Structure 1
Amino acid sequence: MEFTSQDGEQHWRDVLAVLDRTVVGLDFDGTLAPIVDDPEAAGIHPDAHDALVALAPHVAAVAVITGRPAAQVIELGHLEDLADRLAAAGTELYLFGQYGNERWRGSTRDIDTPEPPERLQEFVHALPDLLDTHDADGAFVEEKGLAVAVHTRRLAEPEAAFDRLLEPLTELAEEHDLGVEPGRNVVEVRAPGVHKGDAVAEIAEALDARGFVFAGDDLGDVEAMRQLDELAAQGLATLKVASASREQQALVELADIVVKGPDGVVDLLTRLAADAAER
Structure 2
Amino acid sequence: MVSSLPHPTTSAGRDGLAALLARPEQAVVALDFDGTLAEIVPDPEQARAHPGAVAALAALAPRIASVVVVTGRPAGVAVRYGGFAGVPGLDRLVVLGHYGAERWDAATGTVTAAAPHPGVAAVRAELPGVLDRHGAWPGVWIEEKGRAVAVHTRRAVDPEGAFEALKGPLGDLAARHGLVLEPGRMVLELRPPGMDKGVALASYLRETDAGSVLYAGDDLGDLPAFAAVEKLRADGTPGVLVCSGSSEVPALADRADLAVPGPSGVVDFLTDLAKAVSEAPRS
Cα deviation per residue 1:88-146 (whole Å; 9 max; x = unaligned)? xxxx1001000111111100111112232222211122111221222235421111111
Partner of 2:89: 85
Q: After superposing the two structures, state which structure 1 stretch, 122-131 or 261-270, moved more.
A: 122-131
Cα deviation per residue 1:142-188 (whole Å; 9 max; x = unaligned)? 11111000011121221211111111111111111111110000000
Inter-partner Cα distance in structure 2 for 1:233 and 1:135 = 47
Partner of 1:43: 48
Partner of 1:223: 224
Partner of 1:53: 58
Inter-partner Cα distance in structure 1 for 2:123 and 2:187 = 16
Taking the TM superposition and a 5 Å limit, the aligned residue runs for 1:247-266 are 247-266=248-267
Matching residue's letter, 2:163: F
TM-score (norm 1): 0.93
Q: Which runs of 5+ in 1 are unaligned?
A: none
Inter-partner Cα distance in structure 1 for 2:126 and 2:231 = 39
Q: Following TM superposition, by how much is the alpha carbon of 1:223 offset from its aligned partner in structure 2, in angstroms?
A: 0.9
Inter-partner Cα distance in structure 2 for 1:18 and 1:257 = 20
Cα deviation per residue 1:4-59 (whole Å; 9 max; x = unaligned)? 33443333212211211101100000000000000000000000111111212321
> Is 1:15 paired with 2:20?
yes
Q: Which runs of 5+ in 2 are unaligned?
A: 1-5
Are the counterparts in 2 of residues 216 and 241 from structure 1 also a CA contact under 8 Å?
yes
3-state SS of the aligned residue for 1:241? strand
Matching residue's letter, 1:270: T
Partner of 1:96: 96
Partner of 2:185: 184
3-state SS of the aligned residue for 1:3? coil
Matching residue's letter, 1:203: Y
Matching residue's letter, 1:27: D
Matching residue's letter, 1:66: T
Partner of 2:3: none
Q: After superposing the two structures, state which structure 1 stretch, 200-209 or 41-50, moved more.
A: 200-209
Partner of 2:30: 25
3-state SS of the aligned residue for 1:23? strand
Percentage identity across paired residues of the two chains: 45
Q: After superposing the two structures, state which structure 1 stretch, 151-160 or 32-41, moved more.
A: 151-160
Cα deviation per residue 1:37-92 (whole Å; 9 max; x = unaligned)? 0000000000011111121232101100000011111111111033x4323xxxx1
Inter-partner Cα distance in structure 1 for 2:248 and 2:86 = 31
Inter-partner Cα distance in structure 2 for 1:127 and 1:71 = 25
**Count of residue correspondences:** 274
Inter-partner Cα distance in structure 2 for 1:125 and 1:86 = 39
Inter-partner Cα distance in structure 1 for 2:127 and 2:203 = 34
Are the counterparts in 1 of residues 57 and 270 from structure 2 also a CA contact under 8 Å?
yes
Cα deviation per residue 1:172-211 (whole Å; 9 max; x = unaligned)? 1111111111000000001101321122122212222101
Partner of 1:166: 167
Are the counterparts in 2 of residues 2 and 259 from structure 1 also a CA contact under 8 Å?
no
Q: After superposing the two structures, state which structure 1 stretch, 219-228 or 120-129, moved more.
A: 120-129
> Is 1:124 paired with 2:124?
yes
Matching residue's letter, 2:90: L
Inter-partner Cα distance in structure 2 for 1:85 and 1:275 = 17
3-state SS of the aligned residue for 1:250? helix
Inter-partner Cα distance in structure 2 for 1:202 and 1:118 = 24
Moved over 4 A (4+): none
TM-score (norm 2): 0.92
